[in-house]
A and B are shown apart, each in its own frame.
Chain A
Amino acid sequence: MKSGMHRVATLLLALACAVPAVANEKAEPDPALSPYWEPIRQLMFGDRVINPDGRDVVRVYLNMRADDASTVPVAVKSQIDQTDSDYIKAIYLIVERNPSPTAGVFHFTPSSGRAQVETRLRFEDFSFVRAVAEMNDGKLYMSQRWVKAAGGCSAPNGKNFVPEALLGKMKLRFDDSFVTYGQPNLVQLMIRHPNESALAADFDADKVPQFVRRVKVSFEGTPVMDAEVDFSISDNPNFRFYFNPQAKGELKIEVEDTHDRKFTHSIPIAEGTPLPGG
């Protein structure tokens, strides 16, 4: 899978260089007419039909005018319940004008609780952010938001410099002070990693940028979320998502980066045991 992902990323990179580097619209363009979307769609989904008005299935939440193009909070929220017969099995998060447009592919299961993820994105230029939800029956639904932000991909990690010793360190923060069994609980995963962007004008073509490629979350061995991600995710990657514990167990995070480094982190979850928050 890794080499496959890499090939896609490389292809997309080549593709992105072929489209105009500068766009000057100040108003929101028509999402259906975007020249950026069509090649991405073809490459990622081929001939598959995508319902372009998928707002009843999945929605993207972003501020239209971003405050910091290198750290733009985004939430992708499922509008349907995850049931055994009917669930979102993957959400593709795409910043269509970024050099590597696929920010992440997030895989969910019925036991994920909710197919929802929040993260922080880099924006190279004003862009549509698209979320495509893939149902368990293979149907695809899309919605999008237009965001005004630029320059965030190429801003290097001058701030938030990550010392080598801290690389891969993780922190979990929970929304609630205690876990509640039998319902989705919100958790935030923080990963110390520069998540280097390959876009910088001085980027050394012989160097592979180091960024987090995969984030796998499980509870007691059952998958919660499995994500393939990219450098469109801000430095110190941050994800908020749900897990749905039925009893006490271990919440485990496995992270892998482009340099084949593997990092793991886990914490025990039990009723009555305080959850870290602040």
Chain B
Amino acid sequence: MNRIQVTANILAAVAIVIAGTAAAAEPAQLRNFEIAEVAPGNYVHYGSFEERSPENLGDNANIGFIIGKRCVLVVDAGGSLPVGVALKKAIRAVTPLPICHVVLTHVHPDHFFGAAAFLDDGPKFIAHRNYPRQLAARARPYLNYLRRDLGEFAGGSDIVQPTVLVDGKLEVDLGGRIVVVQAWPPAHTDNDLTVYDRATRTFWLGDLLFVDHTPVIDATITGFLAVMGELRKIDATHYVAGHGHSRATWPQVLEPQRRYFTVILEETRAAIGNRKTIQQATDEVGLSEAKNWAAFDTFHRRNVTIAYTELEWE
């Protein structure tokens, strides 16, 4: 991280909000919302591994914030307006400083649907260069799904467009604290960002790192493995995964995810080589990993499906 190149494309656009849902009659509230200070000035809320429900209100991803001397940067906003509101309350319990940036690490609903909670603060919403294209395509089905899962509690979880797009690296000055936002080639998605706090060497990986929760591939397995090879070179003292947390040290914490992807990669390649169909591959590949991961039944077969469609063209 020594040679930081600032190659960010900044779009000075005004936040555009698509009014997606009508406001709920009674604003839903999370039962409890805890935060932990993982490094000085770096606060994390760990989301639940449960499936999204009216009880957890989409509080399923790790989200948090970094406080400088001048203002606050938010890393992901959670899976619904109530989660974003809870995060904002948590920030206000710690600091009165303005919220100047909201980083959306990638276009998945468990990470971005809470963004509307921060519109009043007028922050810059930072996302990957590829984010708007994916958001445009996915917003409607994601909203449909949110309503299906949360019912009336989906109200107010409006789509927020990013105002700053990152291609390469972007340095953000929070006042006496420089945070580096970095865009990555296709891996978990084609619009993954990480956030690195230089002062404490705290590395926020978004969904480029899953701990204990089944890692998810929404772009490319070979790309994900290649990006992981670059991630491990980052000089980090603390890290925050997109899902889950552990006492493992950096970069050893990457190892289980690397092993899981390697198993899928090798077994899917072998299945294709043995003339097996995509159905057979999803039935057979990677089952030895089942015991190691939460939500395996929900995500593993999907990972194999994506790996197969990528690897069958090799």
Residues of A within 8 A of B (CB): 21-22, 24, 26, 67-68, 71, 73, 118, 120, 124-125, 150-151, 153-156, 158-160, 171, 173-175, 188, 190, 192, 200-202, 234, 236, 240, 277-278
Contacts and interface: CB of A to CB of B under 8 A. Distances in A.
For the complex of A and B, list the 4 residue pairs with the smallest distance between their C-beta atoms, beginning with the closest. A151-B141, A202-B136, A278-B273, A200-B137
Given A155-B137, A190-B313, 13 more contacts: A73-B278, A73-B305, A124-B141, A150-B141, A151-B142, A154-B141, A156-B134, A159-B218, A159-B309, A173-B275, A201-B140, A202-B136, A202-B137
A174 B306 CA distance: 21
Contact of B275 (A71, A120, A278): A278
A154 B144 contact: no
Contacts of A236: 309, 313
A192 B141 contact: no
Contacts of B147: 22, 24
Contact of A201 (B136, B145, B310): B136
A160 B310 contact: yes
B313 A192 contact: yes
B133 A68 contact: no
A217 B309 CA distance: 22
A158 B219 contact: yes
B222 to A, nearest CB: 11
Interface of B: 130, 133-134, 136-142, 144-145, 147-148, 186, 189-191, 218-220, 272-275, 277-279, 282, 301-302, 304-306, 309-310, 312-313
Contacts of B130: 158
Nearest to B271: A278
A150 B145 contact: yes
B219 A159 contact: yes
Contacts of A26: 148
A200 B135 CA distance: 10
Contacts of A154: 137-138, 140-141
A124 B138 CA distance: 10
Nearest to B275: A277
Nearest to A72: B305
B302 A67 contact: yes
B133 A202 contact: yes
**Chain A contact residues: over half helix, strand or loop, or mixed?**
loop
Contacts of A173: 275
A50 to B, nearest CB: 28
Contacts of A171: 313
Contact of A151 (B133, B138, B277, B302): B138
**Chain B contact residues: over half helix, strand or loop, or mixed?**
helix
B137 A156 contact: yes
A188 B137 CA distance: 30
Contact of B278 (A120, A124, A153, A192): A120
Given A68-B302, A73-B278, A151-B145, A158 B134 contact: yes
A155 B301 CA distance: 18
A151 B146 CA distance: 12
A236 B311 CA distance: 12
Contacts of A21: 140, 144
B302 A201 contact: no
Contacts of B189: 158
Given A24-B147, A158-B130, A159-B219, A71 B141 contact: no
Contacts of B218: 158-159
B200 to A, nearest CB: 33
B137 A201 contact: yes
A158 B141 contact: no
Contacts of B275: 173-175, 277-278
Centre residue among B275, B282, B306 by max chain A CB count within 10 A: B275
Given A120-B278, A151-B145, A201-B136, A159 B312 contact: no
Contacts of A120: 278, 309
Centre residue among B139, B272, B305, B309 by max chain A CB count within 10 A: B309
Contacts of B145: 150-151
B138 A68 contact: no
27 contacts: A22-B144, A24-B148, A67-B305, A68-B305, A68-B306, A71-B309, A124-B141, A125-B144, A151-B145, A153-B141, A154-B137, A154-B140, A155-B138, A155-B141, A156-B137, A158-B134, A158-B218, A159-B310, A173-B275, A175-B275, A200-B137, A201-B136, A201-B137, A201-B140, A234-B309, A236-B313, A278-B275
Contacts of B306: 68, 71, 159
Contact of B144 (A67, A150, A155, A278): A150
A71 B144 contact: no
Nearest to B140: A201
A160 B274 contact: no
A260 B237 CA distance: 56
Nearest to B145: A150
Contacts of A278: 272-275
Contact of A73 (B138, B273, B274, B279): B279
Contacts of B144: 21-22, 125, 150-151
A158 B282 CA distance: 22
A154 B138 CA distance: 6
Contacts of A175: 275
B139 to A, nearest CB: 6
